[in-house]
Every structure is written in structure tokens, then in C-alpha cells.
Structure 1
Amino acid sequence: MTHPAENDPIDSVLASLTNKYQQKSKPATKVENLADDLLADIESQFKQKKNNTHNPPPKTSGVDNALESLTQQLQTKHIPKKEISADDFEEIKRKELEEQRKAKAEARRKEELAKAEAQKKEELAKKAQLWLKNLDPNSDEGFWFSQFAMSYESKLQAAIDYLKALEN
């Protein structure tokens, strides 16, 4: 014999359990959705932080600010070449030519000094050779000179130094 579902106590218990289960499962679904949403939010925040740590914003320091300030000052003080007047150009050209003349004159002076020094050494070497030729090795001066020349590589070099000392 079959009973209608409303009258059967087993069916009513089964229906109430089904309702309770469905009510419990619905909030669980909401909780699962909330958990998924929270996880998605946390994941997006983590990705944003990760991107921010890989590309940190440039930090400006006092040195950077000072450098930028100096750069701006130099740019305002810098005169482009197009703005140089003809008078300024002539003045610059004149100064450069004067510096070139001075450099050439200094080079000529040094060259002349070197030539004069070389000529003086050559004359002194000739004098020393003549002096050595006329030196009597058996004289007191010859004996003294032979002792003096022992510390030199050659008698000629010793004679040159000796004659230099006599001139001064």
C-alpha cells in the first residue's frame, strides 16, 4: 500500500532532511564563492605588489635635485654659437692667434737654447781635447788629473767637467 508523501512520516522526515541539507549547502556555496573572491583579490594584490617591487619608482635624492638644478643653470648661461656676435668672434680669433704666436715663439726660444747648449758642449769638448793633448802626465797637474779622472768613464768627460769648473 502506498501512502501519499504528505502523510508518510518517513517521507516528511526525508523532506525535512533534504530541506536542511539544501539550506546548509546553499550557504556553503556562498562561502565557497566568497572564499574564491577573497583568493582572487589576494592574488591580484600580490601580483600588483610583485610588479611594484620589480619596477620601483625612481627615487629622487638631494644629489639628483642639485644635479638637475646645476644643469638648468648651465643651460640658461650657455650661449649658443649662433648668438656669438661678430665682435666676440673676432676677439676669440685674435686671442687664439696670439696664443699660437706665443707657443711658436716659445718653441723657437727653446730650440735656440738647445742649439746654443749643444754648440757650447761641442766647443767645451774641443777645448778639453786640446787641454788633454797639452797635458803632461808626469807633471803635478797631470798626476792630479789622472787621480781625478779615475771616477769618470773617460778622461775626456773628466776634462770637460774640470774645464767647466774652471770657467765658473
Structure 2
Amino acid sequence: MDEIDKLLAEIQNEYTQAPKSQSQSQRPNIRTFNNVVSSDKPIGLDKLLADVKADFDEKDLAVELQRQQELEAKRIRVLEERQKKRDALKQQAQIWLSELEPLSPEGLWFESFSQGYPSQLDAAVEYLEGLEN
């Protein structure tokens, strides 16, 4: 029986060692997992991050464009309001000039005041604008 016991022991050793070596080679270890994860990371995660960054950049550009358009619209509105005010003052100045007596003290004063301006109308507009402020 000794020989049978030896044979059984050998077979048992082979049998128990074979699955251990097979299972070690078949089981993924931490290095294999890290290699898989790190190889997927640049492809998947970097692409995702690049897409998210591109989306944020696009939204930021859209917001900036909107802000610039609003500022430009406001600037145009302000210029139009100034022009309307200037036109109204011009009309008032024409009326004021038509009613101004040239030989009155105010007329004589205005004559000397308007000498620094290209026209009496421009001087009258500036004068009336100064009275409003």
C-alpha cells in the first residue's frame, strides 16, 4: 500500500498545484487592472473632459457675444437719445434766435458770446444746453 499512497499523494499534489498555477495565470491582478484602466483613461476620460471644456468654452463665448451685443445696443440707444435731445435743442434754439432782439442787452450779449462758435445756431444750442444743466 505504500506505493499506492505515494501515487495518490503525487496525483493529489499535481492536482492541487495545477489549479493554483492555472488560477494565478488566469486571474487578473492589480497590475493588469491598472494597465486596463490607465489605457482607457486617456481615450475615454480625456475625450469627455475635452468635450465638457469645449461645451463650457462655447457657452462662455455665447454669453460674451450676448453681452457685447447688449452693450452695443445700449451705446446706440444712448447716441440716438443724445441726437434726439440735440435736435430738440436745435429747434428751441431756432425759435429762441427768431425771438431774440439783436439790439437788446441779451441780444448784444449773445452777439459777443456767439463769436467763438461756427454759427449763431451752434452758440444758441450750447447756451440753451447750459441753461438746462
Length-normalised TM-score, structure 1: 0.49
1:89, 1:141 → 2: CA distance? Answer: 69
How far has the Cα of 1:84 moved from its partner? 4.2
1:121, 1:163 → 2: CA distance? Answer: 10
1:127 to 89, 92, 96: 92
**Structure 2: which amino acid aligns with 1:131?**
W
Q: State the partner residue of 2:118.
A: 153
1:145, 1:85 → 2: CA distance? Answer: 70
2:116 aligns to what SS in structure 1?
A: coil
2:61 to 71, 89, 96: 96
Matches within 5 A, 1:8-157: 84-157=49-122
Larger Rg: 1
2:63, 2:49 → 1: CA distance? Answer: 20
- Count of residue pairs the alignment pairs up: 88
Q: Which runs of 5+ in 2 are unaligned?
A: 1-45
Seq. identity, %: 30
Moved over 3 A (4+): 81-85
Q: Which has the higher helix share?
A: 2
2:101 aligns to what SS in structure 1?
A: coil
1:159, 1:88 → 2: CA distance? Answer: 59
Q: State the partner residue of 2:23.
A: none
Q: State the partner residue of 1:14.
A: none
How far has the Cα of 1:142 moved from its partner? 0.8
2:102 aligns to what SS in structure 1?
A: coil
**Structure 2: which amino acid aligns with 1:91?**
F
1:102, 1:86 → 2: CA distance? Answer: 24
Aligned CA-pair RMSD: 1.7
How far has the Cα of 1:85 moved from its partner? 3.2
